[in-house]
Every structure is written in structure tokens, then in C-alpha cells.
A and B are shown apart, each in its own frame.
Chain A
């Protein structure tokens, strides 16, 4: 997971969410609880990119996302003694990240400047960009920047609750049930929020769709 290359192919491969994976995390957590502080680093390496991705897409600001991701891990570290393993560590750390980011967004009374990560070269050469370039008859480099801005802008127009569900499902690739567990809602609520959010995004991004 420390290998960042895995992120583009699959945000959360199915096997990572198996019971064995959960047990593996739980074993590491127990080591940390027993006083092996260094073991926590394994959890950081495993989840840092996913947590950063969620927070980055929630805030559209890489500096804020970096700070909030660090704070998420610090919070998790401080609370790990109370983690009983009733849910998976993965669910728990995502929940901390989402809640911490929600609190941050509430306090951020005015919208800060947006600072993006650079889009990976591989993706800008992908089929979807070929289609978009052909459709919009624009230069690819310009289209990448424009689309990135429009996408982030559209996401920021959603309410934090709707945004988080879209990010967790469409970008992180989590299932409805997992999102429901993280956000402590029902799967029905998750589906409903997802449906509404996509409708909103469709209207914001209609220039690029179909």
C-alpha cells in the first residue's frame, strides 16, 4: 500500500477488505496497544494515501488535506487504546478522517483558495480524455486543467454530507454498506445521498457529459 502506484488501478482492492485483512490490521493495532508504537507506522503507510485522497477531495486544498491527514493519524494514535476492534480499523480511521474534516469545514467560514494536486500523466492519456478532447475539440493539456478545476468546483458545490458519500463511493470505491458504517447512517441514506449528489454533479458538469 505504501506503493502509490496501486492507487490509480484500484483504490481499495476487494481482498483488502476481507476478514483476513481486517485481522491483520487488528493484530497491528494490538501491538500498538501493547506499547509497540513503531507498529503504528505500518497503519500509516497502509492508509495515508486513501485518507489523504478523501480529505483532499473534501477540501480541494492539498495543504489543508496534508494537515488534516496528519491530524487524523494523531487522533487515531491517541485513541487507539480505546479501539476495541468492534469495527475494522479501516472503517474507524475513515470515520475519524470524515468527522475531523467535517468539523474543519464547519469552522472554515469562508472558502479558501483551492490548490490542486497534479493529475497523473497516465490518466491524461487515457481513453476518457481522448473522448473528451474529441468532443470538446480542445487541446488536451488545457482540457486537463479545465476539467480538474470544474470537477473540484462541482464537488465543492455539494454539501459536505453529499460530497463525502460521492467521494467514498466513486473515488475511493467503497461499497454502500461500508460508507453507511463509516458515516453511521443506513445504506438507504447512502444510496439516496449518492443519487442526489450525482444528479447535482450531472447538472454542474453537463458540458462534459454525453
Chain B
């Protein structure tokens, strides 16, 4: 039995062989070079390195920028694809006159002002253009016309939030409201 144990003890196992690898180790000269190189590399890192909170901030701002970029792309896509589709569906396809009437009815109420008021206003405003004609057309309705300055009246309406000009065309039920 003792002999068997001795024989067993003298067996070479995988573990024994692997432990020999512990003896494969570099010399002191290697570690001197290693330390010198590591210090140089760490110094370079230190010079280049941002503080950790800047790195963290950069990471966060990077994610925000990424989110913003995706959002902007989505908004642009919506403007290009969705908006024209919306405008087209909103435009009348057959009954142009009805559409115009509805548009006029839903427009802000026109406030009648006296011409004298306009003349007073004209003194303070110096126009840099002259209106010769206004052409009007309604998309997809087949309606198009041109109106000379003497054929329409212009009323002006101002408020805190917007300025509105309305033109009502003589001889027609058509009025155009410009809000800006």
C-alpha cells in the first residue's frame, strides 16, 4: 500500500507541469525597463488626460447631442414628408368657392377703419414698393384672377401679437387676409 502511495506521489500531473510555468519570469532588468516605459506612457496620458468629470460630462453631452441629432432628423423628415401631405389634404379638391368662403368666415374679423386713419398711418410709413396688381389663385380649384389696385380696399389691423392686412376684392366675395 505504501508503495502504491509512493508510486502515486511520483506521478506527474497536469497541475505539476502547469505550476512550472510560475518559474517563467522576467529578470530585474526587464522590470526596470518596464517601469521606465510605464512611467513615460502614464505621463503622456496625464498630460493628455481630461479630468474624469469632464470625460463624464463629455459622455453625457455626447448622448444629449446624439438624442438632439435624432430629434432634429425626425423633425426635418416630418417637415419634408408630413407637412406637404397635410397641406395637400387640407386644400380643396373641387369646390373652390366654398373653400374660400369658409376661409374668409374663419379668418379673424376685419375691422373697418376710415381712410383718414390710413392716410395718417401712411405719413409714418414710407413704402419702398408700389403695388401694381395682386394676382390670386386657389390651388386645385382652377380659380385664378388678377386685381388692379383700384379694385380692392385694404384695411389694417394691429394687435400685440400679430399684424394683419385684409384685402376685400370689389365685385367678388373674395377677401384675402395676410397675417404676419
Contacts and interface: CB of A to CB of B under 8 A. Distances in A.
A53 B34 CA distance: 14
B123 to A, nearest CB: 70
Contact of A7 (B11, B22, B35): B22
A120 B37 contact: no
Most A CB atoms within 10 A — which of B21, B25, B26, B42? B21
A119 B15 contact: no
Given A128-B12, A201-B14, A202-B14, A74 B22 contact: no
A72 to B, nearest CB: 10
B38 A208 contact: no
29 contacts: A4-B31, A11-B22, A37-B46, A44-B38, A49-B31, A52-B34, A56-B24, A70-B37, A77-B45, A81-B52, A116-B24, A117-B26, A118-B24, A119-B20, A119-B24, A120-B25, A122-B23, A124-B23, A126-B20, A128-B17, A131-B12, A135-B12, A147-B20, A151-B18, A170-B15, A171-B21, A209-B17, A210-B12, A210-B13
A73 interface: yes
B98 interface: no
Interface residues of A, number: 50
A166 B21 CA distance: 12
A202 B13 CA distance: 8
A66 B28 CA distance: 13
Most B CB atoms within 10 A — which of A52, A122, A166, A170? A170
B19 A170 contact: yes
Interface of B: 10-28, 30-31, 34-35, 37-38, 41-42, 45-46, 49, 52
Contacts of B22: 7-8, 11, 53, 123, 171
A134 B56 CA distance: 61
B31 A117 contact: no
A148 B30 CA distance: 20
Interface in A107-123: 116-120, 122-123
A119 B23 contact: yes
A123 B20 contact: yes
Given A4-B25, A119-B23, A66 B34 contact: yes
Contacts of B41: 70, 74
A105 interface: no
B29 to A, nearest CB: 11
